[in-house]
Amino acid sequence: MKKVISDVGEKLRAKESKLTTRRELVLKVLLENNGKHLSAEEVYNLVKLRAPDVGLATVYRTLELFQEFDLIQTIDFGDGRKRYEFGPEAGENHHHHHLICIKCGSIIEVNEDLLEELENRVSKKHNFTVTDHQLKIFGVCEQCKKPK
Does 126 belong to an annotated binding site?
A: no
Does 116 belong to an annotated binding site?
A: yes
Does 16 belong to an annotated binding site?
A: no
Question: By C-alpha distance, which of 95, 83, 98 is closest to 136?
Answer: 98
Does 144 belong to an annotated binding site?
A: yes
Does 97 belong to an annotated binding site?
A: no
- Indicate the annotated binding residues for Zn(2+): 101, 104, 141, 144
- Known binding positions: 95, 101, 104, 116, 133, 141, 144
Q: Give the residue numbers of the binding site for Fe cation.
A: 95, 116, 133
